[in-house]
Amino acid sequence: MGMYTGLRFKAELKPIVASAMRLVEGSDDFWESLSRIIPISNDWLNTPRRVFIPFGSVNYMPDDWTLLGSVYPTENTWDICCSLKNYEGEIELFLREVLPYLISEPCRVEYRYEEWDHPRFDLIMPEEYEALEE
């Protein structure tokens, strides 16, 4: 069956990214729709379980891991708390190939495998879109 891994962060998005996310709110495929407006990694777009970030429910995480309301940004702030079965390194791929291109400031992310006693943290630095084409 697999274990769940939680992911949570509060990110300051680039203004164009926040606007694009609001435009695709409610679309059937958030990431595919978003990729029509801003560049999104093809590796991420070809990941079947991409929908779980940010839409995965919070399963088997400590009580302080709660859904924060809308998964769409408020102003330029994106507040995410989700979990998924990280079968093929979906979280690592998202943190490496997607999140850096969405944010305008360094972002501290927390992830936690359901059986871990303590979470792990990573600092994601903003990148420019041009790097996606390498």
pLDDT at 132: 42
pLDDT class of 1 with cuts at 50, 70, 90: low
**What pLDDT, in 10s, does the model give residues 12-67?**
999 999 999 999 998 989 999 999 999 999 999 999 999 999 998 898 898 888 86
What is the DSSP code string of 68-133?
-S-SSPBTTEEEEEEEE--TT-HHHHHHHHTHHHHBSS-EEEEEEETT-SS-EEEEEPP--GGGGG
Number of domains the chain contains: 1
Give me the domain span that covers residue 21: 5-133
Q: Is the dihedral of CA 122, 123, 129, 134 positive or negative?
A: negative
pLDDT at 133: 43
Distance CA 81, CA 134 (A): 30
* Mean pLDDT score, 70-82: 89
Mean predicted lDDT score pLDDT of the chain: 91
Q: Can you tell me whether residue 11 is helix, strand or coil?
A: strand
